[in-house]
């Protein structure tokens, strides 16, 4: 008879367990970790707490998990964490789901406009600040939340600023609601004083020194200067990834193309350079690539908007290239002109950017401007968005709070292209390609339409198709956005401001006598965007309180307004 001997095998960790262990190790290595208990005690003690910590210290990914582990989600209550940027909400929630080993959308989820990746089970909810603002319409006291974290508070986006006011209000009567205001190391005293001197909890950062280099003379072409600097670093500097700050998608794509082309030309003379873009509209699978570790022997260069300033932390960055610009919105309330122009960033921004180089080791920041410009041409801090944007929509939203039977009052009245008679909802990628239309933009337009249709359905307003009468409806809504043909361009009726039809407009050639515009945007000139032709006599009919007939003299319009279907939305 054979005898078998049972031998105990060495306990072996499975691949999944190993990965779990290493994730927990990373969690324990973050600057916030040693302060876990102190932080939880402070949150327990105070209803409102301001939390200040260097970017990458673990505020966004760790604090909600600590709260969850501490029992703040008992009874199905939620922890909400707002982000000013969609990309950050998506990528941070994905990271937290990975750390908790759950499927994104279950216990951990995110909510951004047109994309709700949450479920009944979601207790950690990351969302854009705009989405939380919308939740006030359906749940004015945010009763399903035990904690609200207003993250990236230093960004001072319009929605974040509005949230401050609303949340301060509800905290007064919801004593069991905890409010955390999390910010990079900027402006925290201001937040504290706004929230009735709420205490500030400081997470000491671990920063390595960053050497700053300036150019001797201003750079005429900062895009080209970026490309040259990246290649110089790649060829002459020790290992370490590069982060380049540009102002938007177009610049970023151009920079990436130039880099790829020059690398191709240099071929095997240089080590591999992995070029990765990151901006808000980039598809999420492409976004995720920036977090992949760089293979040995290669170097990664991430070309980003200021999303990488504080919202996202990319490990391994040693070199930062900062041309010193950002795209900024500004609004002139008197003329109603909105502009989106590339402007020098603030010194505070420049310092945050430089800081990205010193997270894992001593780093270098190459500023593509002079030390003089840094001192004399840059503002100290960025002006908060609320002081430089059109407040129309947000005022409507606030007015509808406490009533939103009308859940939404945004009066987005963009007419949709008529797709050459084709049913526009049935467009295909092929059709978009043939008509020089971005499929993604078209999908977005469809999403907006569906959302508006849903809202109209809810308040029982019938949706009817466009015809001549609807032009009058638009005139009734936008009577104050009227312009009249004058020498060389148009003049706004009320302010006599000189404005122009955008070259992308279908009415660019026609130059009708009277127009209603959707918005005024200054880019290279003062342009009206989304215009329709009207009959000036309608103005007296729909807005007799606003116009005097004298102002509208010469009311004979060049010709009768055409059908609404032809008044096409501009894509500019």
Q: Are 124 and 155 in contact (CB under 8 A)?
A: no
Q: How far is the CB of 552 from Mg ion (least distance, A)?
A: 53
Choose the binding region for ligand CDP from 55-63, 513-521, 528-536, 547-555 (rule: CB under 6 A): 55-63
Does 60 interact with Mg ion (rule: CB under 5 A)? yes
Does 93 interact with Mg ion (rule: CB under 5 A)? no
Residues 360-419 binding ligand CDP (CB under 6 A) are: none
Q: Which is nearest to 150 in space by CA: 127, 181, 185? A: 181
- The nearer residue to Mg ion, 88 or 162, going by C-beta atoms, is 88
**What DSSP assignment string belongs to 346-362?**
PHHHHHHHHHGGGSSS-
Angle between helices 59-69 and 86-99 (to 10 degrees): 50
Which of ligand CDP, Mg ion, none does residue 215 bind (CB under 5 to 8 Å by kind)? none
- The nearer residue to ligand CDP, 182 or 528, going by C-beta atoms, is 182
Which of Mg ion, ligand CDP, none does residue 481 bind (CB under 5 to 8 Å by kind)? none
Does 53 interact with ligand CDP (rule: CB under 6 A)? yes
Does 313 interact with ligand CDP (rule: CB under 6 A)? yes
Structure tokens belonging to residue 168: 């301060």
Choose the binding region for Mg ion from 51-59, 168-176, 260-268, 503-511 (rule: CB under 5 A): 51-59
Q: How far is the CB of 119 from ligand CDP (least distance, A)?
A: 21
Residues 272-301 binding ligand CDP (CB under 6 A) are: 291
Q: How far is the CB of 54 from ligand CDP (least distance, A)?
A: 7
Binding mask 192-211 for ligand CDP (x = CB under 6 A): --------------------
Q: Which is nearest to 383 in space by CA: 346, 355, 352? A: 346
- The nearer residue to ligand CDP, 93 or 247, going by C-beta atoms, is 93
Q: How far is the CB of 307 from Mg ion (least distance, A)?
A: 12
Does 315 interact with ligand CDP (rule: CB under 6 A)? yes
Angle between helices 392-400 and 158-173 (to 10 degrees): 20
Q: How far is the CB of 82 from ligand CDP (least distance, A)?
A: 12
| Beta partners for residue 122, in sequence order | none
**What DSSP assignment string belongs to 231-254?**
HHHHHHSPS-EEEEE-SSHHHHHH
**What DSSP assignment string belongs to 376-392?**
HTS-SSPPPGGGSS--H
Q: Which is nearest to 227 in space by CA: 275, 269, 290? A: 275
Which residue from 36, 43, 55, 502 is in contact with ligand CDP, where contact means CB under 6 A? Answer: 55
**C-alpha distances out from residue 114 to 135, 446, 447, 508, 569, Å:** 14, 10, 7, 33, 21
Biggest CA–CA distance in the chain, Å, is 117
- The nearer residue to Mg ion, 51 or 133, going by C-beta atoms, is 51
Does 352 interact with Mg ion (rule: CB under 5 A)? no
Does 65 interact with ligand CDP (rule: CB under 6 A)? no
Choose the binding region for ligand CDP from 57-65, 338-346, 436-444, 563-571 (rule: CB under 6 A): 57-65
Size, binding site for ligand CDP by CB under 6 A: 16
Q: How far is the CB of 200 from Mg ion (least distance, A)?
A: 17
Cα–Cα distance measured from residue 326 to residue 353, given in angstroms and rounded to the nearest whole number: 12
Does 62 interact with Mg ion (rule: CB under 5 A)? no
Q: How far is the CB of 97 from ligand CDP (least distance, A)?
A: 10
- The nearer residue to ligand CDP, 58 or 130, going by C-beta atoms, is 58
Cα–Cα distance measured from residue 160 to residue 168, given in angstroms and rounded to the nearest whole number: 12
Which of ligand CDP, Mg ion, none does residue 306 bind (CB under 5 to 8 Å by kind)? none
Choose the binding region for Mg ion from 10-18, 60-68, 161-169, 346-354 (rule: CB under 5 A): 60-68
**What DSSP assignment string belongs to 157-168?**
-HHHHHHHHHHH
Which residue from 78, 95, 300, 518 is in contact with ligand CDP, where contact means CB under 6 A? Answer: 95
Q: How far is the CB of 315 from ligand CDP (least distance, A)?
A: 5
Q: How far is the CB of 272 from ligand CDP (least distance, A)?
A: 22
HEC profile for 67-134? HHHCCCCHHHCEEEEEECCHHHHHHHHHHHHHHCCCCCCCCEEEEECCEEECCCCCCEEEEEHHHHHH
Cα–Cα distance measured from residue 116 to residue 525, given in angstroms and rounded to the nearest whole number: 38
| Beta partners for residue 501, in sequence order | 528
Q: How far is the CB of 95 from ligand CDP (least distance, A)?
A: 4
Residues 30-49 binding ligand CDP (CB under 6 A) are: 30
Q: How far is the CB of 181 from ligand CDP (least distance, A)?
A: 13
Q: Are 519 and 530 in contact (CB under 8 A)?
A: yes
- The nearer residue to ligand CDP, 112 or 259, going by C-beta atoms, is 112
Cα–Cα distance measured from residue 472 to residue 256, given in angstroms and rounded to the nearest whole number: 47
In sequence order, which ranges of 188-238 are alpha helices (DSSP H)?
Answer: 188-194, 222-236
**C-alpha distances out from residue 483 to 470, 498, 528, 531, 561, Å:** 19, 9, 9, 10, 15
- The nearer residue to ligand CDP, 59 or 78, going by C-beta atoms, is 59
Task: Write out the residues near Mg ion by the rule CB under 5 A.
Answer: 59-60
Task: Write out the residues near ligand CDP by the rule CB under 6 A.
Answer: 30, 53, 55-62, 91-92, 95, 291, 313, 315
């Amino acid at each position: 008879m054979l005898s078998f001997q049972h031998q105990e095998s060495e306990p072996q960790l499975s691949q999944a367990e190993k990965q779990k262990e290493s994730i927990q190790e990373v969690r324990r290595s973050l600057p916030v970790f040693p302060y876990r208990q102190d932080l939880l005690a402070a949150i327990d003690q105070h209803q409102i707490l301001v939390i200040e910590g260097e970017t990458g210290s673990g505020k966004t990914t760790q604090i909600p998990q600590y709260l969850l582990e501490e029992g703040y989600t008992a009874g199905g209550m939620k922890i909400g964490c707002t982000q000013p940027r969609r990309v950050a909400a998506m990528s941070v929630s994905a990271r937290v789901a990975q750390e908790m080993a759950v499927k994104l959308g279950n216990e951990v989820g995110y909510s951004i406009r047109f994309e709700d990746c949450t479920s009944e089970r979601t207790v950690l909810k990351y969302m854009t600040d705009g989405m939380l603002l919308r939740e006030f319409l359906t749940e004015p006291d945010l009763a399903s939340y035990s904690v609200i974290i207003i993250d990236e508070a230093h960004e001072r986006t319009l929605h974040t600023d509005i949230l401050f006011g609303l949340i301060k209000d509800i905290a007064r009567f919801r004593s069991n609601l905890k409010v955390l205001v999390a910010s990079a190391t900027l402006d925290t005293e201001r937040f504290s004083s706004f929230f009735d001197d709420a205490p500030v909890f400081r997470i000491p950062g671990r920063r390595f020194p960053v050497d700053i280099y300036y150019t001797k003379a201003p750079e005429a072409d900062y895009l080209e200067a970026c490309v040259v600097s990246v290649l110089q670093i790649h060829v002459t500097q020790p290992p370490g990834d590069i982060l380049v700050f540009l102002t938007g998608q177009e610049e970023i794509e151009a920079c990436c193309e130039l880099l790829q082309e020059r690398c191709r030309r240099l071929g095997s003379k240089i080590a591999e350079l992995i070029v990765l873009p990151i901006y808000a509209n980039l598809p999420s699978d492409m976004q995720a690539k920036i977090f992949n570790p760089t293979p040995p022997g290669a170097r990664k260069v991430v070309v980003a908007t200021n999303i990488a300033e504080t919202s996202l932390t990319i490990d391994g960055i040693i070199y930062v290239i900062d041309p010193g610009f950002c795209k900024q919105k500004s609004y002139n309330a008197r003329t109603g002109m909105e502009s989106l122009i590339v402007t020098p960033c603030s010194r505070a921004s420049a310092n945050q950017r430089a800081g990205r180089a010193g997270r894992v080791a001593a780093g270098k920041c190459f500023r593509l401007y002079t030390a003089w410009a840094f001192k004399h041409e840059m503002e100290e801090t960025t002006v908060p968005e609320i002081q430089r944007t059109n407040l129309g929509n947000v005022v409507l939203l606030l007015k509808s709070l406490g009533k939103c039977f009308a859940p939404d009052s945004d009066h987005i009245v963009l007419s949709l292209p008529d797709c050459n008679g084709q049913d526009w909802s049935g467009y295909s990628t092929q059709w978009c390609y043939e008509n020089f239309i971005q499929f993604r933009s078209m999908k977005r337009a469809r999403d907006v339409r569906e959302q508006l249709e849903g809202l109209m359905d809810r308040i029982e307003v019938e949706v009817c198709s466009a015809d001549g009468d609807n032009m009058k409806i638009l005139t009734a809504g936008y009577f104050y956005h009227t312009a009249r043909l004058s020498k060389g361009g148009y003049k706004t009726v009320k302010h006599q401001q000189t404005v122009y039809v955008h070259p992308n407009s279908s009415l660019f050639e026609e130059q009708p006598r009277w127009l209603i515009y959707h918005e005024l945007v200054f880019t290279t000139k003062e342009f009206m965007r989304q215009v329709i032709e009207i009959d000036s006599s309608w103005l007296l009919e729909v807005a007799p309180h606003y116009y005097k007939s004298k102002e509208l003299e010469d009311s004979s319009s060049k010709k009768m307004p055409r059908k609404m279907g032809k008044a096409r939305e501009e894509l500019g």
